[in-house]
Amino acid sequence: MSNIRCSSRKRSSEEEKEEGFTPRAPRAQRAQRVVVQMIDHSKGIGNIVVNLQALELVARRIVSELEGTNGSPPPGARPLSEVCAGDSVPETALTNFDTLGEVLKKCNKLFEKNGDPYRVDTALVRLRDAIAHGRVMAKDNPNAPNRLYKFSRPKEGMVKVEFAQELSEEWLQSMVERLFNETTGLMEAAKRMGLTCFP
């Protein structure tokens, strides 16, 4: 007679342990855990993106005022709040094609020229580029945080790893705080110099 069980009764976790099985969480519970991890990851990356955008906008407004335009459109031009996709607008510190790195360098040079000691950390450009052009890959362990990579252009069939970071909750939060502090530093410097872009 066969010793294989054909009972439809659900085995208890104790019975599974006795038979050499490793009890697993119900499928719905495992799926819910994955969804929660994805939401946390999305929130963390989203917070970094929003803070990067805030950093760039604040820097552009400072550059605009220190260069004498104050972000205002030239006479006769419509304000940016009224334009639509396909419209043409004058080139200003708010609308030009400068990269984040170029904007931050301009900002630091203008701070130095105007005697303010604050210097924004241009190393944050690496973070921005990694998020914009990098690739997020999961580890074999589904419970481990994803990793963010950025690779160089190929040379002789090889690429250099320019950025590699585990996207842990702690790291994501630390980047949000770092960006917030840099943006706050920019605004405080603007106030010390008497700029009107941040009352």
Helix, strand, coil percentages, rounded to 5, for the chain: 50, 10, 45
Inter-residue contact 80 to 73 (CB < 8 Å): yes
How far is Cα 117 from Cα 153, in angstroms, rounded to an integer? 36
Question: H-helix or E-strand containing 165?
Answer: strand 161-166
Q: pLDDT tens digits for 21-53?
A: 444 555 555 445 545 556 677 888 999 999 999
Domain boundaries, the chain: 27-119+169-192
Inter-residue contact 158 to 32 (CB < 8 Å): no
Report CA torsion sign: 149, 160, 53, 178. Answer: positive
- pLDDT value at position 139? 74
Q: pLDDT tens digits for 123-181?
A: 999 999 999 999 998 877 767 788 999 999 999 999 999 999 999 989 999 999 999 99
